[in-house]
């Protein structure tokens, strides 16, 4: 199996989402030592935002793209191909202002490509999306300051982090999505230690 690790935090050693992905990697390698890991950074190494030239190229038929169009899509093509070639994605992301970091959002904009990772069923804008990433699995490992971001919980209505990622990857065809969230970081102390112990144990039990 080929595993793609996507880290989104702008912090390094102090990042808890990175601690979660590292824990995941150690656990997975111990159980599946022959699996291949690839690393994609969206936090410390920035992903460029899409721009007008990107849009001009992405919405043209490949046969009609100019050299300028191809240049604008070079990184996007690389990122899309990376997704297609891997079997599983592990996304480590903090919650920034109730959403994903800007680098991860830029990454998503680069890979949400019509007729590459998704399409309209009829071939025309009909609102019926068909995902083109088949037989993939996603683990979302999130770190958040507060708690209660699950569906029907007190902060569920402002969860634009894991709910958004689940929706986006679902549009691209990924239906096997598992979420582990480390909450309560801003509270620290015993409350946060209990949260860490719970999530660390859950990640270590992944088969």
Q: Which long-range contacts (CB under 8 A, 24 or more apart) does 16-21 make?
A: 16/94, 16/143, 16/182, 16/185, 17/92, 17/93, 17/94, 17/141, 17/142, 17/143, 17/182, 18/92, 20/92, 20/141, 20/142, 20/143, 20/180, 20/182, 20/199, 20/203, 21/90, 21/92, 21/141
User: pLDDT per residue over 128-141, tens digit each?
Assistant: 899 999 999 999 99
User: pLDDT per residue over 170-189, tens digit each?
Assistant: 999 999 999 999 999 888 89
Residues within the annotated binding site? 9, 15-17
Residues within the annotated binding site for FMN? 9, 15-17
User: pLDDT per residue over 65-94, tens digit each?
Assistant: 999 999 999 999 999 999 999 999 999 999
User: pLDDT per residue over 33-53, tens digit each?
Assistant: 999 999 999 999 989 999 999
User: pLDDT per residue over 85-118, tens digit each?
Assistant: 999 999 999 999 999 999 999 999 999 999 999 9
In the chain the domains, ranked by start, together with CATH numbers, are: 2-204 (3.40.50.360)
């Amino acid at each position: 199996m080929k595993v793609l690790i996507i880290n989104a935090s702008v912090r390094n050693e102090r990042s808890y989402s990175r601690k979660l992905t590292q824990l995941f990697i150690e656990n997975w390698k111990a159980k599946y030592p022959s699996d291949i890991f690839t690393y994609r950074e969206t936090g410390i190494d920035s992903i460029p935002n899409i721009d007008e030239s990107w849009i001009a190229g992405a919405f043209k038929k490949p046969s009609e793209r100019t050299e300028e169009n191809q240049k604008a899509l070079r990184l996007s093509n690389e990122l899309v191909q990376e997704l297609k070639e891997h079997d599983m994605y592990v996304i480590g992301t903090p919650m920034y202002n109730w959403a994903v970091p800007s680098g991860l959002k830029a990454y998503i904009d680069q890979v949400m490509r019509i007729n590459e990772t998704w399409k309209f069923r009829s071939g025309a804008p009909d609102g019926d999306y068909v995902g083109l990433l088949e037989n993939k699995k996603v683990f979302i490992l999130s770190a958040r300051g507060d708690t209660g971001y699950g569906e029907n919980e007190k902060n569920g209505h402002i969860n634009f982090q894991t709910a958004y990622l689940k929706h986006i990857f679902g549009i691209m065809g990924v239906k096997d999505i598992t979420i582990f969230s480390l909450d309560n970081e801003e509270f620290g102390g015993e409350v946060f230690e209990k949260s860490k112990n719970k999530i660390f144990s859950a990640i270590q039990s992944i088969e």
